[in-house]
Amino acid sequence: MARQQSRATIEAEIASLQRKLANLDKAQAERIGKIAVKAGLAGLDLTDAQLTEAFSELARRFRKEGAPEGREQSEPKPEGEGRSERKGNGTSEPDANPSGSSKKAHGGEE
C-alpha cells in the first residue's frame, strides 16, 4: 500500500500550484492588455465597468460561436470567485478581423 503524503507536503504542492496559477494569470493579463492596446482601447476614455462589460460581451460571443460540441459553456464568475477556461479560436492569436470591418472604422489606419 502506498504511503500517504504528509499535510506539509500537500500544502507545499498547493502553494506551488497557486504560484503557477498566479504566473499564468499574469501572463494572460499581459497578453490581453497588449491586444487591447493594439486594438485601440487604451486611447478611449472608458471606465473599468465599461471595459468589463465589453470584455464580458466578447467572452459570451466566443462561448456561443466557439463552443466545442458536447461541452457546456457557463457564464464567467465575478472577479475573485474562480476561473473560467480559455475559450475562443483555439490559438494564442486573436482572429484576424473577425467582424470584417476595417481598422479605419475603429480609428486606426489601414
Residue 27 is placed in which grid cell? 501572463
- 24 in Cβ contact with 14 (< 8 Å): no
The arithmetic mean of pLDDT across residues 33-49, rounded, is: 93
Q: Is the pLDDT of residue 16 over 50?
A: yes
The arithmetic mean of pLDDT across residues 45-62, rounded, is: 94
The arithmetic mean of pLDDT across residues 21-41, rounded, is: 96
